[in-house]
Amino acid sequence: MNYPLVGSAIVEHSGGLNNLRHVTNCMTRVRMTLADPAKVNIQALKGIEGVLGVVEDDTLQVIVGPGKSSKVATAINELLASGSQPPPQSDVEQKAALAREKSRKPTRTKAVLKHIANIFVPILPPLIAAGILMGLNNVLVNSAASYALTHAIAASGELSPAQVVLDQRHLLGLSQFLDIVSKALFSFLAIYTGVTTAREFNGNAIMGGLLGAITIAPQLPLLGLLPGQGGLIGVIFCVWLMCVLEKQVRRVVPDILDVVLTPTIVLTVMAGALLFAIMPVAGMVSNGILHSLNGLLATGGLAAGFVLASLFPFLISLGLHHGLFPIHLEMINATGHAPLFAIQIMSNAGMVGAATAVLLLTRDPVMKKIAKGAIPTSILAVGEPTIFGVNIPAGFAFITGSIGAGFGGMMVVLLGVSTNGVGAAGLSALPLIADGKYLQYIFAWLTGCLAAFVLTYITGKLRKYDRESV
């Protein structure tokens, strides 16, 4: 991809440089805050070579795929840095902009999910990296533990039987390295979440991280609390309150005393609220959510796996799947596993299977070209390229792909597949699979992919999709 060329084309069809207020990116999308959304040419954006789809939300989201989104966003920001700044708006323009913004005001639920997504999107890249390193270490340790058990190898000094085997294989140092790096993220995730939450709500980032650190302090049992009690739900709520309180305190504290009094008052009040109210209550809420989900998976069985996996493509297409990150991470903190995430990534299998069927059915050379680029990307990592580039444009393929994903979810439940981390899907999820059930995961993924392919291919034939003119 010619990133400067694609960036320039996106700017042109988004109303020009003067229409861009802020440009950033997530894993697969370039996200742009616009001065006037009416100036955007959606069809022209979709027609840019390399663009897989466009989502209109509170920000304009142009999907270009993993790895490419950051480079295209950088190219656009370079244009912004060298170009002219937006001129000041007239009163008429300001009133028109306010009217547009009011008409597009999101619902409360959507706003909450957007905030959660913004909190976790910055953590996502290191989260994926740490999850993969943890998965690789689990492969080493599980293999060594199995060998030690079958060969009756005993512990030696401070080394466990598995570590003795790793030492004999000259892999102990590598295993310890992987363990340290991966745990540096998962062990202190509450701190990172506190920082990003404070930034999302325009508070002091370090203060947010400090409150997150309090929730994992080893001295908490002295107060009758457990480290991590209330989890990330408690951290997010506490830091949000901190941002609200900080603004209120700053209004009444004299400027000359602000740098001393404001942080002292805010920290004292919020630390007390966190330890004696938020953590106990959030702990009950968190436990209730986890027990409900585990109960659903335990009692709902295959049906629960089918329904949940079938729904995830819709959540991903709306960008609402980020709202589940706190739940996945809470399940990992509480049980060491995230079975719901294993079901979620079956959406990837369904979308790949459906897109492959569309590739074979369609006579449209543009669709074939997009599908050939989107399918390998989705197999390796994320499903958005096939969702927005192939299946949603095809229409029926998104429905049949979602149903196919449901069959993958059934196999996940049947085979007891889970993950010990969260991250990307497809082959990238292999190192995240818990208990060494890599073959079971592949089988479940292939089941979802094959079911989606068959459903989409048959439906396409019945709908005469393969006969549509170019």
Residues that are catalytic: 26
Contacts of 192 (CB under 8 A, 6+ apart): 123, 185, 209, 212
CA angle 46, 52, 53 (to 5 degrees): 55
Rounded to the nearest 10°, the torsion over CA 74, 352, 306, 66 is: -10
What tokens does 441 get?
């995961």
Read off φ and ψ for residue 47, nearest 5 degrees: -85, -5
Q: Are strands 20-25 and 60-63 parallel, antiparallel or unpaired?
A: unpaired
- Give CA separation, 44 vs 47, 68, 186, in Å: 5, 19, 42
Interacting residues of 304 by C-beta distance below 8 A, sequence separation 6+: 296, 297, 413
What does the alpha-carbon distance between residue 85 and residue 366 come to, in Å, rounded to a whole number?
Answer: 36
- Matching residue, tokens 């320039």: 8
Give DSSP secondary structure letters for 120-185. HGGGHHHHHHHHHHHHHHHHHHHHHHHHHHHTTPPPBTTB-HHHHHHHHTT-HHHHHHHHHHHHHH
Beta strands across the sheet bearing 29-34: 20-25, 29-34, 60-63, 53-56
Burial of 315-336, coded b for 16+ CB within 10 Å and e otherwise, reads bbbebbbbbbbbbbbbbbbbee
Report residue 9 CA to chain centroid gap: 27
Sign of CA dihedral 25, 29, 30, 31: negative
State how far the Cα of 248 lies from the Cα of 238, in Å rounded to an integer.
Answer: 15
Contacts of 432 (CB under 8 A, 6+ apart): 131, 132, 134, 135, 341, 419, 420, 421, 422, 423
User: What letter represents residue 326's amino acid?
Assistant: P
